[in-house]
């Protein structure tokens, strides 16, 4: 558009120069007028551009304030477009990330310590459980041993007394006037009827209150005879007695076995080494074996 105006003005000037006569003063006025008209659009355009640029610069460079959540005021100044994006580290207070990293490390350390503590506690509980079981077993064993070790000597003495007198009740009120078994039979044997027992089993059951059934049978089977539902006692030397008024020793073999030993002499048996064994069974102490030497 400006080029077209220039051509029109140039043609108009040439035409006037050829056809119209102007004085020098008039030509200068016309020329000045043309130049003034020509400068007006440039001035307007330039002024508009300058105002727009000024507004834009003021809008960009005008300082503004931002208040963070922690009440920290941040000021943003004019900067190139590439620097307008404020990084997170510029907005967040200095030391924030370092603090978070320290907190993360502390949390990680606490978790590791907790895991170690849990593991140690579990291991300690396991070891404690094993030790408690061992202590419990040892305590039970010690209790059993202590129980047996604290067995009163009188317990064994009473059993020995019953052993010494075991035939008294069998022969109580017995008469020796007539043999129970016939004397003219092929199996004839002299025996005297017991007034307190009628069978071997009945007598063995009685002896089982302080000795084992098998020992009672071994000691008495060859001394007794059954005839017509009666029990006869065959006369013979009695059992060797344990002399409690003479020295003896009591020793422990195990938790459930003791023995009492004595050496003495008699006119009937001569030198005697008598040992009586006691066994704890069926919740009581019983004589289980007798050795003579």
Percentage of residues of the chain with pLDDT beyond 90: 34
pTM of the model as a whole:
0.49
| Structure tokens that stand for 104 in this block | 């993360």
- pLDDT tens digit string along 206-230? 999 999 999 999 999 999 999 889 9
Question: What is the H or E stretch that residue 106 is in?
Answer: helix 96-149
pLDDT range class, residue 156, cuts 50, 70, 90? very high
Please give the residue that has the higher pLDDT: either 272 or 119.
Answer: 272
Q: What is the mean pLDDT of residues 88-93?
A: 52
DSSP single-letter state for residue 92: S
Return the minimum-mean-pLDDT range out of 92-96, 158-162, 217-221: 92-96
- pLDDT tens digit string along 62-80? 554 444 444 444 444 444 5
For every residue of 150-181, DSSP letters joined together read: T--HHHHHHHHHHHHTTTTTTTTT---SS-SS
Please give the residue that has the higher pLDDT: either 144 or 266.
Answer: 266
């Amino acid at each position: 558009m400006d080029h077209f105006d220039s051509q029109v003005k140039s043609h108009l000037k040439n035409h006037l120069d050829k056809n119209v006569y102007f004085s020098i003063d008039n030509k200068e006025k016309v020329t000045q007028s043309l130049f003034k008209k020509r400068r007006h659009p440039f001035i307007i355009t330039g002024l508009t551009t300058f105002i727009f640029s000024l507004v834009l610069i003021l809008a960009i460079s005008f300082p503004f304030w931002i208040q963070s959540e922690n009440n920290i005021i941040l000021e943003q100044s004019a900067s190139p477009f590439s620097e307008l994006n404020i990084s997170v580290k510029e907005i967040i207070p200095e030391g924030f990330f370092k603090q978070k990293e320290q907190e993360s490390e502390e949390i990680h350390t606490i978790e590791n310590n907790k895991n170690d503590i849990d593991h140690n506690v579990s291991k300690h509980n396991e070891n404690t459980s094993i030790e408690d079981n061992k202590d419990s077993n040892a305590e039970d064993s010690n209790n059993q041993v202590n129980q047996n070790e604290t067995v009163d000597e009188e317990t064994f003495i009473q059993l020995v007394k019953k052993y010494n007198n075991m035939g008294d009740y069998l022969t109580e009120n017995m008469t020796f006037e007539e043999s129970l078994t016939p004397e003219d039979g092929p199996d004839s044997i002299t025996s005297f009827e017991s007034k307190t027992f009628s069978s071997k089993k009945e007598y063995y059951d009685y002896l089982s209150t302080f000795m084992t059934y098998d020992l009672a049978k071994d000691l008495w089977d060859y001394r007794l005879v059954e005839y017509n539902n009666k029990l006869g006692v065959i006369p013979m030397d009695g059992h060797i007695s344990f002399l409690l008024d003479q020295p003896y020793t009591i020793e422990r073999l195990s938790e459930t076995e003791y023995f009492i030993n004595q050496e003495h002499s008699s006119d009937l048996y001569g030198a005697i080494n008598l040992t009586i064994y006691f066994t704890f069974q069926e919740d009581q102490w019983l004589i289980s074996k007798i050795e003579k030497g």
